[in-house]
């Protein structure tokens, strides 16, 4: 009689369910306590339609770490994969299972489906019990429970398929959870490390948006955290509508469920060609072994090398060559560790040194290419005619008002020309800026009145160009600041100070968040000092004073009498800037009050129009407006 080879074995399926019941039992018990029992524990008065709508969705919301849905799917998926495919990691069991009248496809399908049932069956049971619990409590919202069932099941499908995919590449059961955990976070970790390393090697490098976006897609935990969750609509009064909570990001969950099915198919293809005698090996697929070896070496070079450099930076010479040396050292260590794991022996140096030398040479060449800037990254400064608009940000300056940590948008040709000149100056002073030992240090002295005056500091600068072809060019720098540098017009510090103090740019930057259709509805001047009562108070302005004040402020900003920015807390800053601040609140016509925009501007002694309105129409006594110098002198006594 002709034998029949089966693609599915019901006996093995049932045996997996019976043998590994603690996994699906514990998984189901957790959700049993969270949903059905959790619903029944709610008080009868507290269980309303709003609560019924909200509770199941809360378990899908990504918080500081992971949602309960993502966490349980992540952890129990690897446990299920380790259980149902545990026979692959022992030479006896792998021989026994593959002697059964089952094709490899049949073994894979039976075990894969049995592991998947560890989640789908408990999910369905919990859903039905939760539905019954809601009915017993008197308020049922099928939508929320159905969303929970769909999302939780799809998350389990993806993570379980991913765990099975990892299981096909190793012959050691303890290596499986390690590979699974590393691959879940590898893309995001590598992207972060590569950007950090590039920031040390490339002058002006900040980040690459495409690398971060790609890492996001290849790190499901990060993507689910950033792009899925619960949103609560607002009513006309700005209150949250908890009974209309909505789960967003379902499309991403469905997409990754399809990715999971694709990974399951790939796992089957790998399983069909898997070398059974590799049971017990860390990596069981031949062509993956060199990938594993060089991958471990590269990851060790980047991660351990940069970590050691950051830890020992105070003991190492300046420059990037010590970083290169540490990366080569850590890369060699990682290479030999991977070789030991693959060969399961410590005697590997005589067979592996050639590969290690080749790897270190490739790594060294790549690092030198970056350090010597052979691609021309560091020297690239666009011509102002190629720039449609630009912005500068992360510039720390005084006074501490709206533009304290300012954002400036530039679109005027003269402003763009000044920005590109500043950029060229920074590139020309690269050696000085990189090797300045006091770049991030500060120095202060006391003047004759006892006020603290800054004589040394630094500021960061981020430049973002939007070019004529629609692309962006972004650079980021740190600039040292001293009175001498600010007085020399050829230094980057002086050029930056001149750029951010252009009157037209100042006015536009202060009011950048104010809609052109908005009107001034409120204004106040706080921190006025009353010497008679030795206390501070606030003055509020209303009526016609508001319009007069706004006109005066704009006029002073337009000619540079107001808004002057200081990169150092020097004597000029202390003498010109007042301690008090003006707060201006704007509201667009017909907009709700919660959409009002408030900006803060520090008055300055040179703003004659603004001071005139404050004193003549606002009732402010000029003697009550302390300058920064007067305030520091008074508080230091």
Has residue 5 got a pLDDT over 60?
Answer: no
User: Rounded to two decimals, what is the model's pTM?
Assistant: 0.80
Q: Which domain holds residue 531?
A: 510-636
Has residue 1 got a pLDDT over 50?
Answer: no
Give the Cα separation of 95 and 324 in Å (integer). 48
Has residue 258 got a pLDDT over 70?
Answer: yes
Has residue 3 got a pLDDT over 50?
Answer: no
In-domain check, residue 318: yes
Same domain, 71 and 173: yes
Give 331's contacts (C-beta < 8 A, 6+ positions apart).
Answer: 297, 298, 300, 301, 305, 359, 360, 363
In-domain check, residue 191: no
Indicate the residue among 371, 386, 418 that finishes a domain: 371
Give the Cα separation of 221 and 33 in Å (integer). 24
| Alpha-carbon distance values, 485 to 415, 444, 474, 493 (Å) | 21, 16, 25, 6
Q: How confident is the model at residue 8 (pLDDT cuts 50, 70, 90)?
A: confident
Has residue 4 got a pLDDT over 80?
Answer: no
Has residue 134 got a pLDDT over 60?
Answer: yes
Indicate the residue among 371, 398, 433 that finishes a domain: 371
> Which pair of tokens denotes residue 415?
């402003």
In-domain check, residue 305: yes
Same domain, 321 and 266: no
Q: What is the pLDDT of residue 2?
A: 46
In-domain check, residue 468: no
**Each residue's pLDDT tens digit, 218-237:** 999 989 988 888 887 765 55
- Tell me the average pLDDT of the chain: 89
Has residue 215 got a pLDDT over 50?
Answer: yes
- For 91, the 3-state DSSP assignment is helix
Has residue 353 got a pLDDT over 90?
Answer: no
Same domain, 601 and 544: yes
Beta strands 443-446 and 229-231 are: unpaired
Q: How confident is the model at residue 122 (pLDDT cuts 50, 70, 90)?
A: very high
Q: What is the pLDDT of residue 633?
A: 86
Average pLDDT of the segment spanning 583-601: 88
Q: Look at residues 502, 584, 572 and name the one whose alpha carbon lies nearest to residue 540.
A: 584
In-domain check, residue 58: yes
Give the Cα separation of 487 and 477 in Å (integer). 20
Same domain, 178 and 320: no
Same domain, 57 and 106: yes
Has residue 65 got a pLDDT over 70?
Answer: no
Total number of domains constituting the chain: 3
Give the Cα separation of 321 and 33 in Å (integer). 57
Q: What is the pLDDT of residue 235?
A: 58
Least confident stretch, 131-135, 412-416, 451-455: 451-455
Which of the given ranges, 61-75, 85-99, 186-200, 512-526, has the highest pLDDT on average? 512-526
Same domain, 239 and 360: no
Indicate the residue among 371, 386, 411 that finishes a domain: 371
Q: What is the pLDDT of residue 193?
A: 84
In-domain check, residue 187: no
CA atoms within a 13 Å half-sphere pointing along the CA-CB vector of 210: 3
Same domain, 625 and 562: yes
Give the Cα separation of 229 and 217 in Å (integer). 17
Give the Cα separation of 445 and 451 in Å (integer). 8
**Each residue's pLDDT tens digit, 262-295:** 999 999 999 988 887 778 788 888 888 899 999 9
Radius of gyration of the CA atoms of the chain, in A: 33
Same domain, 242 and 358: no
In-domain check, residue 600: yes
Same domain, 579 and 626: yes
- For 67, the 3-state DSSP assignment is coil
Same domain, 305 and 259: no
Has residue 329 got a pLDDT over 60?
Answer: yes
Give the Cα separation of 401 and 600 in Å (integer). 5
The 10 Å Cβ neighbour count of residue 415 is 21
Same domain, 38 and 106: yes
Same domain, 264 and 304: no
Give the Cα separation of 35 and 292 in Å (integer). 42
Has residue 129 got a pLDDT over 60?
Answer: yes
In-domain check, residue 192: no
Has residue 544 got a pLDDT over 80?
Answer: yes
- Contact status, residue 521 vs residue 596, Cβ threshold 8 Å: yes
């Amino acid at each position: 009689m002709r034998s029949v080879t089966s693609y599915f074995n019901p006996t093995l399926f049932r045996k997996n369910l019976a043998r590994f019941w603690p996994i699906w039992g514990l998984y189901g018990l957790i959700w049993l306590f969270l949903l059905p029992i959790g619903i029944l524990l709610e008080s009868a008065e507290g269980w309303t339609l709003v609560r019924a709508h909200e509770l199941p969705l809360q378990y899908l919301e990504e918080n500081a770490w992971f949602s309960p849905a993502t966490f349980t799917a992540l952890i129990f998926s690897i446990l299920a994969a380790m259980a149902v495919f545990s026979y692959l990691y022992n030479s006896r069991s792998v021989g026994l299972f593959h002697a059964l009248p089952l094709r490899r496809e049949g073994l894979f399908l039976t075990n894969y489906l049995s592991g998947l049932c560890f989640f789908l069956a408990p999910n369905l049971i919990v859903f039905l019990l939760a539905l019954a619990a809601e009915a017993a409590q008197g308020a049922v919202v099928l939508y929320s429970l159905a969303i929970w069932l769909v999302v939780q099941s799809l998350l389990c499908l993806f993570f379980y398929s991913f765990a099975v995919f990892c299981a096909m590449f190793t012959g050691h059961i303890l290596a499986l959870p390690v590979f699974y955990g590393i691959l879940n976070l590898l893309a995001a970790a590598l992207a972060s490390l590569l950007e950090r390393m590039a920031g040390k090697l490339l002058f002006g490098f900040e980040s690459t948006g495409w690398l971060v976006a790609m890492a996001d897609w290849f790190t499901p935990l990060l993507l689910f955290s950033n792009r899925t969750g619960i949103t609560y609509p607002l009513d006309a009064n700005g209150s949250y509508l908890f009974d209309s909570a909505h789960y967003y990001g379902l499309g991403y969950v469905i997409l990754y469920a399809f990715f999971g099915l694709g990974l399951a198919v790939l796992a089957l293809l790998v399983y069909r060609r898997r070398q059974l005698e590799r049971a017990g090996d860390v990596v069981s697929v031949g062509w993956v072994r060199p990938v594993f070896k060089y991958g471990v070496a590269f990851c060790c070079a980047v991660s351990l090398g940069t970590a050691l450099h950051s830890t020992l930076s105070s003991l190492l010479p300046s420059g990037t060559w010590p970083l290169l040396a540490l990366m080569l050292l850590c890369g060699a260590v990682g290479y030999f560790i991977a070789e030991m794991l693959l060969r399961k022996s410590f005697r590997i140096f005589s067979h592996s040194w050639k590969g290690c030398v080749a790897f270190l040479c490739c790594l060294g060449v790549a690092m030198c290419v970056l350090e010597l800037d052979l691609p021309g990254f560091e020297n690239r400064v666009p011509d102002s005619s190629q720039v449609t608009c630009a912005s500068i940000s992360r510039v720390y300056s005084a006074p501490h008002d709206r533009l304290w940590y300012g954002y400036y948008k530039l679109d005027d040709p003269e402003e763009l020309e000044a920005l590109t000149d500043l950029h060229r100056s920074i590139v020309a002073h690269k050696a000085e800026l990189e090797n300045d030992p006091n770049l991030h240090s500060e120095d202060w002295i006391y003047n004759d009145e006892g006020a603290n005056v800054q004589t040394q500091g630094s500021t960061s600068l981020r430049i973002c160009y939007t070019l004529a072809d629609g692309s962006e060019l972004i650079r980021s720098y740190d600039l040292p600041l001293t009175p001498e540098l600010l007085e020399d017009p050829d230094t980057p510090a002086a050029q930056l100070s001149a750029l951010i103090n252009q009157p037209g740019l100042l006015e536009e930057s202060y009011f950048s968040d104010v809609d052109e259709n908005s009107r001034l509805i409120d204004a106040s001047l706080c921190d006025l000092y009353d010497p008679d009562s030795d206390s501070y108070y606030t003055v509020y302005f209303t009526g016609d004073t508001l319009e007069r004040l706004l006109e005066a402020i704009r006029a002073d900003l337009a000619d540079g009498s107001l808004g002057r920015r200081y990169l150092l807390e020097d004597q000029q800053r202390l003498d010109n800037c007042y301690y008090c601040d003006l707060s201006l609140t704007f509201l667009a016509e017909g907009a709700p009050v919660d959409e009002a925009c408030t900006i803060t501007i520090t008055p300055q002694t040179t703003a004659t129009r603004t001071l005139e309105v404050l004193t003549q129409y606002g009732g402010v006594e000029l003697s009550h407006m302390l300058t920064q110098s007067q305030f520091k002198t008074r508080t230091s006594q």
